[in-house]
A and B are shown apart, each in its own frame.
Chain A
Amino acid sequence: MAFALSAEHEKELERILSRYPNKMAACIPVLHLCQDANEHWVSDEVIAFVAERLGLSTAHVAGVVTFYHLFNREKPGKHQVWVCRTLSCALRGSESILRHCEKRLGVHVGGTTPDGKVTLRTSECLASCGSAPMMQVDKTYHENLTIEEVDRVLDDLLKDS
């Protein structure tokens, strides 16, 4: 099924285009807009849509999508959790946080809970080294984590219907 944006998102697309001297520059922001409107993933239909709207080849858009980690080529869970595991976080216990998330959610890193609610991922440095360990849940940072805090955050996600 062809992908389309809502009228409100179309307006946002126009706003994005107005910021740049050419349409190609809007590629990444427009892909974000479409991914957010498409249950957090970039399907072939989204690629075709972006290519058509920005006057680019689908090969160019696909090349961009596959270069950047934050564009999903498969549909993730309703919520995405990234546990930072780079050195500063690792020195403050990110490994224990990650193991606990795996146990609590019953999935390995990269997996999605069977009810489709939460996808667990690791992340490289998220610029939160002074408040390590930390994790990102959707668009929010949770910092200075303890196991209790992780439980509280994950419980909220799993309860969300």
Chain B
Amino acid sequence: MLKRTNYLSHSYDKPDGHTLAAYEQAGGYRSARKVLSTLSREQVVDEVKKAHIRGRGGAGFDCGMKWSFMPKESKKPHYLVVNADEGEPGTFKDRTIMERNPHALIEGCIIGCYGVGAHAAYIYVRDELHLSKARLWAAIEEARAKGYLGKNPFGKNYEVEVYVHTGAGAYICGEETALLNSLEGRRGEPRLKPPFPAQVGAFGCPTTVNNVETIAIVPSIFQVGGDEFSKLSALHEWNDGGVRLFGVSGHVKKPGIYECAVGLTLRELIYDLGGGIIDDRPLLGVIPGGSSCPVHLPDEIVDVPNDPRFAPYNGKSVLDLPMGVDTLRGVGGMLGTCCAIVMSDAADPVLALHNLMRFYRHESCGQCTPCREGCGWIERILDKVIEGRGSIEELNELHEIASNITGNTICAFGDGAAQPALSFVRKYRKQLEDYILRGGQSQTRTLEA
């Protein structure tokens, strides 16, 4: 269901869209004012729960539910931490918010702090995003000058401060506990859970970690009302509400970020918003939401007989399934960050897999043996396959290594690295075997369209 919206992207085409003046002209900061002047902390959490915002960073956890895990009474300070370490290959949506609508994130932080009982929010921005950091700092200064941040935001005796913190180039810091270690000035190695951040997070205190887009959409919930906001989505009944930013990159004519109601299909994303495939070539495959999600082929058919909710979609192409956290999970996929990577038949899937596994080998933090050794091992097998020295046995071995990473590491990076390996080997087995049988020769041997 293609329904374009502009809750977050209304400012994207305006040259001054990132300024306070433009944001307020579009109704900005009314939600934070309303929340702080009229609602209790519990009412805020309830309203966010009603909106059914599934975490936009990839895991898809319900935002209101996460906020409700924060202790009601606590002697320790609470923190809100915003994960702006955007670096999942294929994902480039949070950057558009920080660069072109930073005040939505600051307003979301004010409401979020109030909702989780925090007085300080840290926005953890990867260091490379220099424009994002500058825009956020400028927005913070503007908001502070107006009295929206500080000791008495909107006249309420509830201090809120927002800070930008920088990383230094490590994909793993997008993992929430690695991010907390990095925020504390340590190496960005993930922590064992439990304890979860809501009990022991930043600086040993109760902490909520949310994605940029999750927090930035919060003011819109209070503009529209939680229930109404959820119902904008075609998957409201699946508790997957609201609107979100859809990205599309790779072999499409119009790559970019498009804001739509939740429930868009992959076909609409690729062919309507993305303008179709370059040179109108056939689709080879699509990774729906960042490289850690399994790849889908165009001829994959939805077949989930045990779940009545899938009845309207069974027998249809997976490209016609509304993109939601639970819909894609039901077909063995993952929605992730909702930013799709599209490959036409000009792309060689073996080289694509090699590219991704190089990424995971490079970014593994090295803490857990299965991930540290496994990612490198998989890359070396693919090196051999591409050079014509691979064997069918090693292809099976690759599958086994990836299976053995899954579930055997402290954090989800291991699973994220194994997913592309497993899904590519299952779905492009023939192309991989062709490489081996032809001694490294393939018909395409390129990634570019």
Closest residue on chain B to residue A56 by CB atoms: B185
**Interface: B29 (CB within 8 A):** no
| Whole-angstrom CA separation of A123 from B128 in the bound complex | 10
**Interface: B303 (CB within 8 A):** no
- Chain A residues in 8 Å Cβ range of B86: 127
Q: Which residues 12-66 of A sit at the B interface, judged by CB distance below 8 A? A: 19, 21-22, 24-29, 31-32, 54, 56, 60, 63-64
**Interface: B412 (CB within 8 A):** no
Closest residue on chain A to residue B85 by CB atoms: A127
Q: Is the CB of B169 within 8 A of A69?
A: yes
Could you tell me the distance in whole angstroms from the C-beta of B296 to the nearest C-beta in chain A?
15
Segment at the interface with A among B53-61, B243-251, B369-377: B243-251
Q: How many chain B residues have a CB neighbour from A under 8 Å?
A: 57
Q: Is the CB of B248 within 8 A of A26?
A: no
**Interface: B363 (CB within 8 A):** yes
Segment at the interface with A among B89-97, B260-268, B328-336: B89-97
- Mask, A126-150, CB within 8 Å of B = 1, is 1111111000100111000000000
Q: Is the CB of A132 within 8 A of B130?
A: no
Q: Which residues 103-161 of B sit at the A interface, judged by CB distance below 8 A? A: 126-131
Q: Is the CB of A125 within 8 A of B447?
A: no
Q: CB < 8 Å: which of A29, A91, A126, A128 contacts B165?
A: A29
Q: CB < 8 Å: which of B170, B248, B351, B362 contacts A130?
A: B248
Majority secondary structure, A binding face: mixed
| Whole-angstrom CA separation of A131 from B250 in the bound complex | 10
Q: Is the CB of B449 within 8 A of A125?
A: no
Q: Is the CB of B89 within 8 A of A86?
A: yes
| Whole-angstrom CA separation of A136 from B127 in the bound complex | 12
* Chain A CB within 10 A, most for which of B130, B186, B291: B186
| Whole-angstrom CA separation of A123 from B339 in the bound complex | 20
- Chain A residues in 8 Å Cβ range of B351: 90
Q: Is the CB of B359 within 8 A of A86?
A: yes
Contact status of A124 and B185, CB under 8 A, knowing A70-B168, A131-B255: no
Q: Is the CB of A87 within 8 A of B89?
A: yes
Q: CB < 8 Å: which of B77, B92, B165, B170 contacts A69?
A: B170
- Chain A residues in 8 Å Cβ range of B88: 125
Q: Is the CB of B171 within 8 A of A127?
A: no
**Interface: B352 (CB within 8 A):** yes
| Whole-angstrom CA separation of A85 from B250 in the bound complex | 12
Could you tell me the distance in whole angstroms from the C-beta of A49 to the nearest C-beta in chain B?
15
| Whole-angstrom CA separation of A95 from B170 in the bound complex | 22
Q: Is the CB of A130 within 8 A of B169?
A: no
Contact status of A124 and B87, CB under 8 A, knowing A68-B170, A95-B448, A132-B249: yes
Contact status of A25 and B183, CB under 8 A, knowing A67-B188, A87-B89: yes
- Mask, A87-124, CB within 8 Å of B = 1, is 11011110110000000000000000000000000011
Q: Is the CB of A129 within 8 A of B168?
A: no
- Chain A residues in 8 Å Cβ range of B63: none
Q: Is the CB of B184 within 8 A of A67?
A: no
Q: Is the CB of A24 within 8 A of B184?
A: yes
**Interface: B257 (CB within 8 A):** yes
Given contacts A64-B187, A87-B355, A129-B91, 12 further A-B contacts (CB under 8 A): A19-B165, A28-B167, A32-B166, A71-B168, A86-B355, A87-B341, A88-B89, A90-B448, A91-B251, A92-B251, A128-B92, A129-B249
19 A/B residue pairs, CB under 8 Å, sorted by A: A21-B203, A24-B184, A32-B168, A63-B186, A64-B187, A67-B188, A68-B168, A68-B170, A87-B341, A90-B351, A90-B352, A91-B251, A92-B250, A126-B87, A127-B91, A128-B92, A129-B249, A130-B247, A130-B249
